[in-house]
Amino acid sequence: MAITMTERAASRVKEILEERGLPDKAGLRFAIKGGGCSGFEYVVDLVDKPRKFDMPGRHDKVFVSNGARILVDKKSLLFLDGTEIDFEEQDFGHAFTYTNPNASGVCGCGTSFSV
């Protein structure tokens, strides 16, 4: 089981964490929740200050990809295993994007998926 990040995404995560003064154990919290037009939505947390949920919990799996930490709860990992996270800079905004091999369908905006 693994979640990976491109160099571009990992760089952006490290920049954000550094800007916000988060400790070394902090990382990108990546999860899913029910909702969106396709059934499940991606949830990414990068917070303003350290809070308990930014640190690995006993039910979290921690991955390190290109030097950035990714924290995923075991339930979400069932749907996210094998996903690659990228970061795209576009003319009208910047966004994390996801390539999820478990998704059987993706909505047009790319933030929700079905299995």
22 touches 98 (CB < 8 A) = no
pTM across the whole model: 0.81
The domains found in the chain, sorted by start residue, are 4-114 (2.60.300.12)
Q: Is the pLDDT of residue 7 over 70?
A: yes
pLDDT band at 48 (very low <50, low <70, confident <90, very high): very low
pLDDT level of residue 4 (50, 70, 90 thresholds):
very high
Gyration radius (Cα) of the chain, Å: 14
Q: Output the six-digit token pair for 53.
A: 């949920």
Residue 75's pLDDT band (cuts 50, 70, 90) = very high
